[in-house]
Structure 1
Amino acid sequence: YVATGYAGCKFKVGGAQPAIDAERVRTARRAAGDDFVLMVDANQGYSRAQAVDFGRRVAGLGLRWFEEPCRWTNDRRWMRDVRLQTGIPVCAGQSETTLAGVRDLMVDAAIDVSNFDASWSGGPTIWRKAAGLAAAFGVELGHHEEPQVAAHLLASVPDATFVECFDEDRDPFFWKLTTNRSPIVDGRYAVPTGAGFGIELDWDYVKAHTVDQRTTGS
């Protein structure tokens, strides 16, 4: 990731014991250096106690945020506890499908960063409304995946963090579906210009990967 030009990397925790996951973070920090941005994502895999344990083990390693640290059953209360007891910023919001849901994360002081997803929560209009709430609560903004959408949204607000994207093996569409994808240079991605999201499809690539095409009679 460093060689590719990314500003940082977010990787999975929560699938092993906190001590094992913490050692993986230490290994990543040694490999990437102090200036490389590191985040971790538990995908709601830890209990409250495990999340706090992990957070304390990685204290001092400069994690930018700890994403969805706790299981969904009591996640708002538990995420607030993780924030307060570890000092690591907590990111969540992608699992919320309504403006009211992401609002409650802020009201309950559960998050430092919102990664509310416009693609399954009502589109850019609702995302922008969530951004307004975030500004009122002092919450920073990210976006769950979909860099072709996220780049435009995050560029429109002052408290944005990072555009999230994957390597080509994980997300070939981002890299190959368009003809005008901006390069990632020194951790930055230029927002495409043009109508809508500024995307120009590579129709040869679309046709090569079409599995079904149906027409209707007139």
Structure 2
Amino acid sequence: MTSAIRQDGAPALVDARITRIETIPLRVELERPATGSTLKLTHRCTIVTRVHTDAGVVGECFNGNDDELQPAIISLIHDELEPLLKGRRVAAIDDAWAATRRATEPFLRDRRVALRAQACVDSALHDAVGKLAGLPLHLMWGGARERVPVVALGGYYRQSGDLEALADEVAELKAFGIHGLKLKLGGKTPAEDALRAQTVRRAGGDAFVLACDANQGWSREEALEFVRRTRDLNLAWFEEPCRWDNDRADMAVVRTVGGVPVAAGQSELSRFGCRDLLVAGAIDICNFDASWGGGPTEWRRVAMLASAFNVSIMQHLEPQIGLMMSAGVANGRYAEVMLPWRDPFFYKLIANQPARPFVDGFYTLPTAPGWGMSFDPEYLEFARRK
């Protein structure tokens, strides 16, 4: 791996400048709906963002799963963020982040749009810096590990044959090289969902990693009932067990009284919200979402903050960035992945994705610079939002 060099012999990273930003909206229909306690997804959407530089290097990434908000995010990138960034040093990422953060300030704007636009640009900028330096990002950030353990998001509700489908899904995951499942629940009673968790444990065996995600679907009492019913299942963590309106206090009770590791953070918009979760003693794992909360720059701040509380860090979904981010910090935990039907972009858009990405429950990180991804141009055009 070598860094980019300017014509005068100096490293391009020193003074490379942003020239323009390109965005490509993607949208494909899922093979079947993905239904959880508080959500139903029928399409996989994302935005490919490319930051062009005067050094000839193009930083690129894809972020998010926004359908209705996608056009507004793209408009904000070009109308507000691109004019702020053109001409700035590529390597001055904190400076770019502070400049683009101002787009989140208008009081009547949906703040999610600005945060996700900022995340798109921030992710592509990090890729550009890695390419200019000639290093994969996880090595630039500390290189805590070369491979990352993974769990699959799954176990969505089925209208019929739910328990049989769960057992089949576990078998499919293990055959695919994934040795863990984050089970969707919270849409049924604690007793019914405990039976689903028991089905996964029986199908997977004692060594299979089992986590549960209620998507804020239960009250504190319901969450505690579920914990009591699954006490012998050795849950790796219980994610967003309680409804949003009093979640910090309720999760702290579930964690201390229930004695189960609790994960949350994806619903926070910044490091300050994650700080409050940590101070409240509400979590053992913080799964802040870089694509929802301003990008890898903010995610890494959250990771450092969490380390001061002896709390682990994960990225919520988005394995195209989550794998490297987890590998770049000492308190990184698992990375979340999905089967191809649920995340076709991870398997089809990334041209250099191995045919069998997972071996014995781990993903070995690419050695190419930046995020280590190249995109398949034919699939990019196929998935381009019409």
TM-score, structure 1 normalization:
0.95
Q: CA–CA distance in 1 between the matches of 2:289 and 2:353?
A: 21
Other structure's SS at 1:70 match: coil
Partner of 2:241: 69
Contact 1:90 1:110 in 2 (8 A): yes
Q: CA–CA distance in 1 between the matches of 2:200 and 2:345?
A: 27
Q: CA–CA distance in 1 between the matches of 2:179 and 2:327?
A: 16
- After superposition, residues 12-161 of structure 1 pair within 5 angstroms as 12-161=184-333
Partner of 2:358: 184
Cα deviation for residue 210 of structure 1 reads: 2.3
Partner of 2:63: none
Q: CA–CA distance in 1 between the matches of 2:385 and 2:250?
A: 44
The residue identity in structure 1 corresponding to 2:269 is T
Cα deviation for residue 144 of structure 1 reads: 0.3
Residue identity over aligned pairs, in percent, reads 51
Partner of 1:215: none
What do the CA deviations read for 1:117-163 (whole angstroms, capped 9, x no partner)?
Answer: 11121211111111111110010111100001001110011122211
Contact 1:180 1:192 in 2 (8 A): no
The answer on 1:195 being equivalent to 2:358 is no
Q: CA–CA distance in 2 between the matches of 1:191 and 1:122?
A: 24
Cα deviation for residue 181 of structure 1 reads: 1.8
The residue identity in structure 2 corresponding to 1:190 is T
Instruction: Select the structure with the greater relative contact order (CA < 8 A; seq sep ≥ 6).
Output: 2
Q: CA–CA distance in 1 between the matches of 2:318 and 2:367?
A: 17
Partner of 2:381: 207
Q: CA–CA distance in 1 between the matches of 2:349 and 2:286?
A: 28
Q: CA–CA distance in 1 between the matches of 2:198 and 2:205?
A: 10
Partner of 1:216: none
Q: Could you say what the CA RMSD is over the residues aligned between the two structures, in angstroms?
A: 1.0
The residue identity in structure 2 corresponding to 1:191 is L
Q: Structure 1 stretches of 5 or more lacking a match? A: 213-218
Other structure's SS at 1:133 match: helix
Q: Which has the higher strand share?
A: 2
Q: CA–CA distance in 2 between the matches of 1:81 and 1:181?
A: 42
Cα deviation for residue 195 of structure 1 reads: 3.0
What do the CA deviations read for 1:86-137 (whole angstroms, capped 9, x no partner)?
Answer: 1110000000111100111001000000000111212111111111111100
Q: Which has the higher Rg, Structure 1 or Structure 2?
A: 2
Q: CA–CA distance in 1 between the matches of 2:217 and 2:241?
A: 7
Q: Structure 2 stretches of 5 or more lacking a match? A: 1-172
Contact 1:112 1:139 in 2 (8 A): yes
Instruction: Report the count of equivalent residues.
Output: 212
TM-score, structure 2 normalization:
0.54
Q: CA–CA distance in 1 between the matches of 2:232 and 2:263?
A: 18
Q: CA–CA distance in 2 between the matches of 1:56 and 1:86?
A: 7
Q: CA–CA distance in 2 between the matches of 1:97 and 1:181?
A: 30
Q: CA–CA distance in 2 between the matches of 1:40 and 1:181?
A: 28
Q: CA–CA distance in 2 between the matches of 1:109 and 1:179?
A: 42
What do the CA deviations read for 1:34-59 (whole angstroms, capped 9, x no partner)?
Answer: 00000000000000100001011100
Contact 1:114 1:142 in 2 (8 A): yes
Cα deviation for residue 194 of structure 1 reads: 2.3
Q: CA–CA distance in 2 between the matches of 1:27 and 1:207?
A: 41
Contact 1:12 1:40 in 2 (8 A): yes
Other structure's SS at 1:81 match: helix
Cα deviation for residue 179 of structure 1 reads: 1.1
